[in-house]
């Protein structure tokens, strides 16, 4: 098996606020080397590095807004998030839980710190990933998958090295519960000090990793908390070793190789479809969601 080499390791770019609740480093597509085409089918990755949130009786976040043409995958690492959408989907995710919302043909949703958690405040850490949909599914039915941590696939590493927690796709035969529209592998490596694991994905898949906690040696090279590792497209296998307790989010997806036209909350194939999305949104075709 040919080694999948590191292409580059990135420090997090400057933050920006999403609403008043999420202070994110936008890796995809904000960093030029991480364009939507370069990371396809991963078209956006916002990383909220650990931050302190002061207690607030009014939960902070972002009010009703539309999406069309892709899926939002939210992974809570610290703190709790509450979501509601115009399709009737919704729920609360806490530490380690995931929500996988398929916007497809159009949805309105809102995302806030969960009410009770907001009252207490604390440390907040989250990833939001947007997975693109194939052209044939872009105008399909919206959907919502709640993926509590307890339902994820889990594979113990040898010598108490920790475990791999599979959200989507598979790791060494252990499958994740998420249903996807194209081949996507998404998983947390939760290492104890000294833990070690090898990962193999098909050559040509776009593959990356973000270090959530601690430090991880990637093919022998150290990547630290909040850093983003992009792998070369060629090669299949890489090795992670943990010199200390560590958590890393690993993603690998088969590129859709379809044209991408994206603007704001819409990711479509053509400019005309973007204009259509704005028209449909302005005509109220995305449904209704109260503030
Ligand atoms: Mn959103």
User: Ligand 1 centre from 110 Cα, in Å?
Assistant: 7
Residue 148: is its pLDDT beyond 90?
A: yes
| Distance separating alpha carbons of residues 52 and 115, to the nearest angstrom | 16
User: Ligand 1 centre from 64 Cα, in Å?
Assistant: 8
Containing 206, the helix (H) or strand (E) segment is strand 206-213
| Distance separating alpha carbons of residues 277 and 275, to the nearest angstrom | 5
Entry field: residues in the chain: 291
User: Ligand 1 centre from 197 Cα, in Å?
Assistant: 33
**Tally of helices (H runs) and strands (E runs) in the chain:** 3, 26
User: Ligand 1 centre from 216 Cα, in Å?
Assistant: 30
User: Ligand 1 centre from 19 Cα, in Å?
Assistant: 10
Q: What is the tens place of the pLDDT at every residue in 112-132? A: 999 999 999 999 999 999 999
Residue with tokens 């207490």: 120
Q: What is the tens place of the pLDDT at every residue in 230-259? A: 999 999 999 999 999 999 999 999 999 999
Residue 1: is its pLDDT beyond 90?
A: no
In this prediction, residue 271 has a pLDDT band, given cuts at 50, 70 and 90, of: very high
Tokens matching residue 52:
């302190």
Residue 291: is its pLDDT beyond 90?
A: no
Buried b (16+ CB within 10 A) or exposed e, 207-226: bbbbbbbbbbebbeeebebb
User: Ligand 1 centre from 72 Cα, in Å?
Assistant: 7
Give the list of residues 6+ apart from residue 264 with CB closer than 8 angstroms, or none: none
User: Ligand 1 centre from 224 Cα, in Å?
Assistant: 28
Of 126, 115, 150, 80, nearest in space to 249 by CA? 126
Q: Output phi, psi for 162, to 5 deg.
A: 110, -155
User: Ligand 1 centre from 67 Cα, in Å?
Assistant: 7
Q: What is the tens place of the pLDDT at every residue in 3-30? A: 999 999 999 999 999 999 999 999 999 9
User: Ligand 1 centre from 16 Cα, in Å?
Assistant: 15
Query: Whole-number mean pLDDT of the chain?
Result: 97
End-to-end CA distance of the chain: 52
In this prediction, residue 188 has a pLDDT band, given cuts at 50, 70 and 90, of: very high
User: Ligand 1 centre from 238 Cα, in Å?
Assistant: 33
Strand partners, 230: 8, 208
User: Ligand 1 centre from 44 Cα, in Å?
Assistant: 11
Residue with tokens 């995302």: 111
User: Ligand 1 centre from 142 Cα, in Å?
Assistant: 13
pTM, two decimal places: 0.97
Q: What is the tens place of the pLDDT at every residue in 55-96? A: 999 999 999 999 999 999 999 999 999 999 999 999 999 999
| Distance separating alpha carbons of residues 201 and 245, to the nearest angstrom | 24
User: Ligand 1 centre from 192 Cα, in Å?
Assistant: 33
User: Ligand 1 centre from 15 Cα, in Å?
Assistant: 17
Q: What is the tens place of the pLDDT at every residue in 129-144? A: 999 999 999 999 999 9
In this prediction, residue 168 has a pLDDT band, given cuts at 50, 70 and 90, of: very high
User: Ligand 1 centre from 99 Cα, in Å?
Assistant: 12
| CB of 268 closer than 8 Å to CB of 204 | no
Of 171, 183, 149, 156, nearest in space to 250 by CA? 171
| Distance separating alpha carbons of residues 236 and 193, to the nearest angstrom | 25
User: Ligand 1 centre from 282 Cα, in Å?
Assistant: 17
């Amino acid at each position: 098996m040919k080694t999948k080499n590191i292409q580059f390791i990135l420090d997090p770019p400057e933050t920006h606020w999403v609403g008043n609740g999420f202070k994110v480093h936008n890796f995809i597509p904000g960093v030029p080397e991480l364009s939507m085409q370069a990371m396809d089918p991963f078209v956006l990755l916002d990383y909220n590095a650990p931050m302190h949130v002061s207690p607030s009786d009014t939960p902070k976040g972002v009010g009703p807004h539309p999406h069309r043409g892709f899926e939002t995958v939210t992974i809570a690492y610290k703190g709790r998030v509450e979501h509601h959408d115009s399709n009737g989907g919704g729920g609360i995710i806490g530490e380690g839980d995931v929500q996988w919302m398929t916007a497809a043909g159009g949805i309105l949703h809102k995302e806030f710190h969960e009410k009770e958690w907001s009252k207490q405040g604390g440390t907040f850490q989250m990833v939001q990933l947007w997975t693109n949909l194939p052209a044939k599914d872009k105008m399909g039915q919206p959907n919502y998958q709640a993926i509590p941590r307890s339902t994820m696939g889990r594979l113990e590493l040898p010598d108490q090295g920790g475990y791999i927690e599979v959200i989507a796709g598979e790791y060494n035969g252990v499958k994740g519960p998420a249903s996807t529209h194209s081949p996507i592998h998404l998983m947390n490596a939760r290492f104890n000090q000294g833990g070690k694991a090898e990962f193999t994905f098909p050559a040509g898949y776009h593959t990356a990793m973000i270090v959530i906690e601690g430090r991880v040696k990637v093919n022998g090279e150290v990547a630290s908390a909040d850093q983003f590792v992009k792998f070369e497209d060629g090669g299949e296998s890489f090795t992670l070793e943990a010199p200390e307790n560590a958590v890393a989010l690993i993603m690998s997806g088969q590129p859709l190789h379809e044209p991408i036209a994206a603007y704001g909350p819409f990711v479509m194939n053509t400019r005309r479809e973007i204009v259509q999305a704005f028209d449909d949104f302005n005509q109220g075709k995305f449904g209704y969601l109260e503030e």
